[in-house]
């Protein structure tokens, strides 16, 4: 929730002194913090049957974040991995990989070319109103991919009181100790956006340019051997993001249309041949266009209708040229896989109704249609997958303190045998005035994606083929949480949530060798996989201080435990600790924030050559950002600070096996380009 220190106010005993700065406050007993993910309608956090985490636009602003990864990297349960070969990043949540996480933009699924959830960092951070995170399967509500949970990125609606508002943002950031002003080395962010409102109409538009100059790059005339000698090189990346939203609303009807566009270029230098003075230069170019039309209609107090239609076009092209540095000319290369374009498009239509029979019983029936298609040199044919689903759930409020939500999803898929029925059961019990208990069971599933079924990646170094015979992944998941909704003594307030989970998967899709030809890597269904663990999250507020402290302990399944001769434990466990602290200096119109996380070592077991099990680890690390935020004048705010205070660049790795197509066993794991320094200005103007 936002506290505007330009006025004196008191909320539940917390008094803010009159100033003009606004800071992000995570209130321990905030019944006004509204969530929408998985809900029948806007719902307060405490009344929701789901245990939902929220991150507000104000917290994003305090972090001076330029992408979603920078917002989530200190959240419990999140781990990020970087593929420096392709210049992409993937995410895992609660021990499960990104392919098991549903990424939504205003409820519309994001489309990815590969297994990595690179779309997470292809969303304009300046348009985000809040991020809602639901852990655990949400397959009944959102269908495939939602085994680990859902990250719903909700954009700004622009329904404020201002007739016209304009904002601009300029931010400069070093990349480690490398920096050039305004362009070149370092991170450079530019944004401009506008919001117009007149009676029932709202129009928003924005444009952002993110320019990363790379880090630790070899010179343009470095040889191939010199380029390969240093593995921790970060590729230059440029992003252009544009968006617009137009909407109309009245007391009974709401409709809006949104368009998001992206152009992203990632540059690669392979080094030159010292004999010919020629070298390969490569560019990965991504175009993404996402359109969505959403509407809600209130027929009566007992019946509400809503619908979503979305369409995404995504293509990623690889262009490789042979550059002659002696005369500065170039020509297209002819090597395998060096000229390529892969095209994907996805359509979704979703409609549902919410019918309230009485104050104790309500229903939500709905229908969803998804269509995915792909084409390109590496795609076998022009495959299309159609997925049809009907779903129904009900909220039963047996008493004022008991809320039960059962749900079912019925599925028909045009390509594979989907689970015919997916059930879920969520419950919430109000034990005392401030203590809530949530218990849930859900069946989850993830359908094989087009890229897994039909995408072949063959070049001089790879021979990876899709598998059209894959089965859908399925899971049985159990979740529970106990939340102390808020304890208050004068200016001190406290909230605590203890949660646990257990997930068991079958038919998990992973890379493996083709039994008929060991030289070919393909995708196969592994028999089973499990994750389990728990988290404890605490929030406190004391006058101008807000602080959170959390800890998680997560176990990932060790498949070698099935071999009784090896005598290894069933799970390999990892610890995480995080803390976010913000203190407001009311007389200075400013605040200071620390965002910290300890990520414990990531253990796993490998089978050694002597047929024994060996414990290997990716090393632990600390990360922290320290940021200052100050209002200079009425319309101007300055952000300054240090990111990655502990200067972590690589993580130790004792593994001896390859972890994927672009990783090497035993090699250090790239994490970041090190400590960076940030300075940014934000200008906001409005006319009422």
The answer, yes or no, to whether residue 299 has pLDDT greater than 80, is yes
Q: What average pLDDT score do residues 58-73 get?
A: 92
H-only helix segments in 414-571: 450-454
The answer, yes or no, to whether residue 189 has pLDDT greater than 60, is yes
* 260, 105 contact by CB (below 8 A): yes
* 144, 427 contact by CB (below 8 A): no
* 234, 262 contact by CB (below 8 A): no
User: Could you write out the DSSP letters of every residue in 472-483?
Assistant: PEEEEEEEEEEE
Residue whose C-alpha is closest to residue 84's, from 247, 198, 217: 217
Q: What is the pLDDT of residues 138-167, one digit of tens each?
A: 888 888 888 888 999 999 987 566 689 999
Say which residues have a Cβ less than 8 Å from residue 432's Cβ, sequence separation at least 6: none
Assigned token pair, 49: 């049957």
- CATH class in words for 2-687: mainly beta
Q: Give the H/E segment covering residue 244.
A: strand 237-249
Phi, then psi, of 561 in degrees rounded to 5: -65, -15
Phi, then psi, of 286 in degrees rounded to 5: -115, 130
Assigned token pair, 83: 């593929």
Q: What pLDDT score was predicted for residue 269?
A: 85
pLDDT bracket for residue 22 (50, 70, 90):
very low
Mean pLDDT, all residues of the chain = 86
Q: How far is CA 573 from CA 44, 95, 394, 397, 555, in A?
A: 34, 10, 37, 38, 4
Q: What average pLDDT score do residues 414-436 get?
A: 89
- Residue 310 and residue 302: Cα distance in Å, rounded? 27
- Residue 43 and residue 32: Cα distance in Å, rounded? 9
Q: What average pLDDT score do residues 492-499 get?
A: 91
Q: What is the pLDDT of residues 515-574, one digit of tens each?
A: 777 778 888 888 789 999 999 999 999 989 999 999 999 999 998 888 888 888 999 999
Q: For the chain, what percent of residues have pLDDT higher than 90? A: 53
DSSP 220: T
pLDDT bracket for residue 28 (50, 70, 90):
very low
Give, in degrees to the nearest 5, the angle at Cα 67 between 63 and 73. Answer: 65
Q: For the chain, what percent of residues have pLDDT higher than 70? A: 92
Q: What pLDDT score was predicted for residue 459?
A: 61
Q: What average pLDDT score do residues 434-456 get?
A: 87
Q: Give the H/E segment covering residue 225.
A: helix 224-228
Placement of tokens 């490998």 in the chain: 606
Assigned token pair, 550: 């959390």
């Amino acid at each position: 929730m936002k506290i505007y220190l330009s006025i004196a106010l008191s909320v539940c005993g917390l008094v803010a002194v009159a100033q003009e700065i606004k800071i992000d406050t995570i209130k321990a007993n905030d019944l006004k913090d509204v969530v929408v993910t998985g809900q029948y309608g806007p719902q307060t956090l405490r009344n929701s049957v789901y245990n939902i985490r929220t991150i507000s636009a104000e917290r994003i602003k305090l972090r001076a974040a330029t992408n979603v990864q920078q917002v989530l990297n200190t959240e419990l349960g999140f781990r990020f991995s970087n593929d420096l070969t392709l210049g992409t990043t993937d995410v895992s949540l609660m021990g499960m990989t990104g392919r098991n996480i549903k990424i939504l933009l205003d409820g519309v699924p994001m489309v990815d070319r590969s297994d990595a959830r690179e779309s997470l960092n292809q969303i304009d951070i300046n348009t985000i109103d809040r991020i809602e995170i639901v852990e655990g399967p949400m397959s009944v509500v959102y269908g495939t991919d939602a085994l680990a949970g859902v990250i719903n990125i909700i954009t700004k609606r622009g329904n404020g009181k201002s007739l016209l508002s304009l904002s601009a943002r300029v931010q400069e950031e070093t990349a480690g100790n490398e920096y050039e002003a305004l362009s070149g080395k370092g991170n450079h962010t530019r944004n401009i956006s506008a919001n117009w409102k007149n009676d029932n109409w709202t129009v928003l538009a924005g444009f952002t340019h993110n320019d990363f100059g790379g880090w630790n790059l070899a010179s343009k005339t470095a040889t191939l051997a010199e380029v390969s000698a240093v593995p921790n090189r970060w590729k230059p990346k440029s992003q252009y993001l544009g968006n617009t939203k137009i909407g109309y609303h009245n007391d009974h009807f709401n409709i809006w249309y949104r368009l998001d566009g992206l152009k992203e270029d990632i540059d690669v230098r392979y080094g030159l041949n010292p004999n010919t003075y020629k070298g390969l230069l490569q560019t990965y170019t991504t175009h993404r266009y996402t359109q969505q039309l959403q509407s809600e209609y209130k027929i009566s107090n007992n019946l509400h209708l809503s619908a979503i239609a979305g369409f995404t076009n995504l293509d990623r092209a690889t262009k490789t040229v042979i550059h002659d540095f002696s005369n500065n000319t170039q020509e297209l290369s002819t090597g395998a896989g060096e000229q390529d374009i892969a095209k994907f498009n996805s359509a979704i239509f979703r409609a549902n109704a919410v019918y309230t029979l009485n104050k104790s019983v309500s229903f939500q029936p709905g229908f969803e249609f998804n269509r995915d298609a792909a084409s390109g040199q590496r795609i076998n044919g022009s495959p299309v997958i159609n997925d049809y689903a009907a779903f129904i759930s009900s909220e039963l409020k047996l008493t004022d303190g008991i809320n039960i939500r059962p749900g079912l999803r019925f599925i028909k898929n045009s390509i594979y045998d989907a689970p015919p029925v997916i059930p879920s059961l969520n419950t919430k019990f109000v034990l005392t005035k401030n203590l809530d208990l949530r218990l849930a069971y859900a069946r989850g599933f993830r359908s094989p994606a087009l890229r897994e079924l039909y995408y072949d990646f063959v070049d001089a170094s790879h021979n990876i083929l899709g598998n059209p015979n894959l089965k859908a992944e399925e899971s049985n998941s159990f979740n529970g949480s106990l939340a102390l909704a808020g304890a208050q003594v004068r200016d001190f307030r406290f909230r605590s949530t203890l949660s646990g989970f257990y997930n068991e998967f079958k038919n998990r899709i992973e890379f493996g060798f083709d039994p008929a030809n060991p030289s070919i890597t393909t995708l196969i269904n592994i028999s089973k996989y499990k994750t389990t663990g728990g988290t404890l999250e605490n929030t406190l507020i004391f006058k101008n201080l807000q602080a959170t402290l959390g800890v998680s302990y997560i176990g990932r399944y060790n498949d070698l435990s099935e071999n009784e001769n090896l005598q290894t434990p069933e799970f390999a466990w990892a610890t995480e600790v995080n803390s976010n602290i913000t203190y407001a200096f009311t007389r200075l119109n400013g605040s200071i924030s620390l965002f910290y996380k300890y990520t414990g070592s990531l253990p796993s077991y490998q089978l050694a050559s002597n047929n024994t099990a060996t414990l290997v680890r990716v090393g632990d690390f600390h990360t922290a950002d320290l940021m200052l935020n100050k209002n200079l004048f009425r319309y101007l705010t300055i952000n300054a600070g240090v990111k990655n205070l502990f200067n972590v660049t690589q993580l130790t790795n004792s593994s001896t096996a390859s972890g994927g197509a672009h990783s090497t066993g035993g090699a250090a794991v790239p994490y970041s380009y090190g400590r960076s320094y940030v300075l940014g200005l934000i200008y906001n103007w409005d006319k009422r």
